[in-house]
Structure 1
Amino acid sequence: MTASNSSGGLKAEGRYARGWHCLGLAAGYRDGKPHSLNVFGTRLVAFAGEDQQVHILDAWCPHMGADLGLGEIRGNSVVCRFHGWSWGADGSCNDIPCAKRIPPKAKTKAWLTCEQNQLLFVWHDPEGAPPPADVSIPRINACFSDEWTGWTIRSMVIHNNCRELVDNLADVAHFGPVHGSPASYFCNTFVGHIGYQMFRGSESELLGSALIADSAYFGPAYHITRMVAEVDGKPVHSILLNCHVPIDQGSFELRYGVMVKKIPGLSDEENDAIAKAYVEQAHKSFFQDVEIWHNKIRIDNPILADSDGPIYQLRDWYRQFYTDVKGLPDDLHQEKVFERHDGTWRALSEVPEAARSQLHTI
């Protein structure tokens, strides 16, 4: 879907997106050690204390600048290795060895976190506001069900701006050349902070046939896909995690995860074998995208053909995460729908029944 002007282009900003950003499995931070995080152009420290809650602070100690990630955890505080200053979960200094009093200004930034679907999230807002009530991470019931495997997650650093990843939500044209899985039906819906993609394909080089994928970005950096494919005559249900957190303006950490629904009637060993094989194929499919992201530049005003997806419309939606709240458009919460059927694109006034999200069923 082409655009008549360049308004869909997104210039490189010196800021990072407003929204929840996934930092991987929450359990990985409950190992009794502080974890340094290079994100949002700075360094943070994540740690779980005696309360088993994961807390995140600015990592550079306000005293003399050492990395709190090199320190140790005592109680619900992280203690700096350099001089032993102790910092609580709220960012306040609560102990200084041999000092008679703690300076009133001895505070550092505490970051808002949440846990959902076995994952840890951190909230980022360049304006410093908390998340609105309607901006949350939806629960995936499968993450708490014995009928599904747990997450298998891999992470990597991509040396590019993270927008190059988000473009895939609308880039229908890449499925054939990159994945060997051309779309027979495709629909994008943008409403509020959520961008949906409905995909139908008859085959995939790696993931089987009769491919059905319902996916969405919940905010700028957390993407979930509900997928069904036929493999060796059996339907395989999977949930795919695709999330990123920016390191700086030219790189981001990417995490890709897979869960697989166990097939009734098969033994645990048989289900484990199927899940392991499918997870490996899913990762191979995803790495086809990774190779592209590692070897491309950003084009702010791409020249599009009528076979391309609503790239400019996607970027109009995505721009909200880099815009001050007071500058958000009035129609942000109105559904904007773009459907491709029989090779033809059309803008719709409402979401067709075939493209209604089924993500709530997982």
Structure 2
Amino acid sequence: MVLPHAIEAVPAGDRYARGWHCLGLATEYKDGKPHGLNIFGKQLVAFAGDDGHVQVLDAFCPHMGANLASGEVRGNSLVCPFHQWNWGANGVCTHIPYATRVPPKARIQSWHTCEQNRLLFIWSDYEGAAPTPETAIPRINACFSDEWTPWAVRKITIQTNCRELVDNLADAAHFGPVHGSPASYFCNTFVGHIGYQMFHGSQSELLGNTLVADSAYFGPAYHITRMTAEVDGLPLHSVLLNCHVPINQDSFELRYGVMIKKTPGLSDDQNREIAHAYVEQAHQSFFQDVEIWHNKTRIDHPVLCEGDGPIYQLRDWYRQFYTDLARLPNDLRKEKVFELREGVWRTLSEVPPDAISQLHTI
């Protein structure tokens, strides 16, 4: 007698993924004001001083506990609203207006940040290690080209663990039932800190026909897609941003955005309208998943069938971001390739021509 499968789910624990997490458009933080951030189970504060660099600090002043997000920016320092202690970008107190000496313990955590592709990123690492050149966010030349519209970005809060979102990278089977866009071809490649997906679809209810989506997670939380589709009989080239930052283990901020290659003959305003309309379509697409996420349960050992693809292999790749650096597996840099062609999954020794990513050439 075959017994019912018991669903198992280990609590997510107290770690957040090691890697760069996107906080949206960098310009949003350069208005001369502090910005409170509720992420990684903590209260943080972002600000840009006169030098234009966006810094992130722990939000609570160690003097008497005030929230620095309620303070003000002066020069390159953040000033506490309670007693006006001044905090520099490195988290060290630089001035106390009613004291001649700053206590040596007057320092708070300063987080690594970077700007790339007109976006702001924050680095998280449970062990406290600094980012390495290997994990640098790759440049998207289209972000700096007049041939493309600027990012049109939207943010929503999702009430579940962020692993549910990352599972989509390998879940080819859900595209038809959920999004009305079944995969005619699908391939995953996992190598180092990058997880690739190549998707071909003959039709899409939301994102056009003859769809080709070339996408990748660069680390645990920053996902970029180069997409081509036919919309109203015309080719549309777009770059999609899909990034998340955990609020806690049961919720995360999802930011998604679109840039489109401008259509010759249309004004900048008309091209921006197309980009914003595409964001709205992406919004509908995400909410098709969100409705399911908000009503499902966490499951660590799903019962899979032969058509499900490399779900477990994806989770093995994703686990690296929650593992001590000294305990990472030795084969992380080896390409692992899984292809769905004509309804059959195959494990390959090299990436097939249909799945060669062009993300680095945008």
TM range (shorter): over 0.9
Q: Distance in 2 between matches of 1:24 and 1:348?
A: 36
Provide the residue aligned with 1:356 in structure 2. 356
Superposed CA deviations along residues 49-76 of structure 1, whole A, max 9, x for unmatched, are 1111101111111111111101011110
User: Is this contact kept in 1: 2:149–2:271, CA < 8 A?
Assistant: no
Structure 1 residue runs without a partner (length 5+): 1-5
> Structure 2 matches for 1:1-362, cutoff 5 A?
12-362=12-362
Q: Distance in 1 between matches of 2:237 and 2:349?
A: 31
Q: How many pairs align?
A: 356
User: Is this contact kept in 2: 1:29–1:35, CA < 8 A?
Assistant: yes
User: Is this contact kept in 2: 1:11–1:300, CA < 8 A?
Assistant: no
Superposed CA deviations along residues 137-192 of structure 1, whole A, max 9, x for unmatched, are 00011111111111111111111111011000000011001100000000000000
Cα–Cα, structure 1 residues 250 and 198, in superposed 2: closer, same or farther, change >3 Å?
same
- Alpha-carbon RMSD across the aligned residues, in angstroms, is 1.5
TM-score (norm 1): 0.95
User: Is this contact kept in 2: 1:10–1:315, CA < 8 A?
Assistant: no
Provide the residue aligned with 1:3 in structure 2. none
TM-fit CA distance, 1:22: 0.5
Q: Distance in 2 between matches of 1:343 and 1:141?
A: 36
Counterpart residue type for residue 173 of structure 2: A
User: Is this contact kept in 2: 1:195–1:218, CA < 8 A?
Assistant: yes
2:24 aligned counterpart, secondary structure: strand
Counterpart residue type for residue 25 of structure 2: L
Cα–Cα, structure 1 residues 331 and 11, in superposed 2: closer, same or farther, change >3 Å?
farther
2:105 aligned counterpart, secondary structure: coil
Cα–Cα, structure 1 residues 98 and 132, in superposed 2: closer, same or farther, change >3 Å?
same
1:306 aligned counterpart, secondary structure: coil
Superposed CA deviations along residues 1-57 of structure 1, whole A, max 9, x for unmatched, are xxxxx9x98762211000000011100001111011111111111000111110111
Q: Distance in 1 between matches of 2:48 and 2:31?
A: 8
TM-score (norm 2): 0.95
Q: Structure 1 vs Structure 2: percent identity of aligned residues? A: 72
Q: Distance in 2 between matches of 1:104 and 1:278?
A: 52
TM-fit CA distance, 1:265: 3.2
Q: Distance in 2 between matches of 1:354 and 1:11?
A: 38
Q: Distance in 2 between matches of 1:33 and 1:272?
A: 28
Q: Distance in 1 between matches of 2:63 and 2:267?
A: 57
Counterpart residue type for residue 76 of structure 2: N
Cα–Cα, structure 1 residues 57 and 204, in superposed 2: closer, same or farther, change >3 Å?
same
Superposed CA deviations along residues 278-306 of structure 1, whole A, max 9, x for unmatched, are 33222222221222222222111111111
Q: Distance in 2 between matches of 1:106 and 1:122?
A: 23
User: Is this contact kept in 1: 2:32–2:49, CA < 8 A?
Assistant: yes
Q: Distance in 1 between matches of 2:276 and 2:326?
A: 47
Counterpart residue type for residue 63 of structure 1: H
Q: Distance in 2 between matches of 1:14 and 1:272?
A: 41
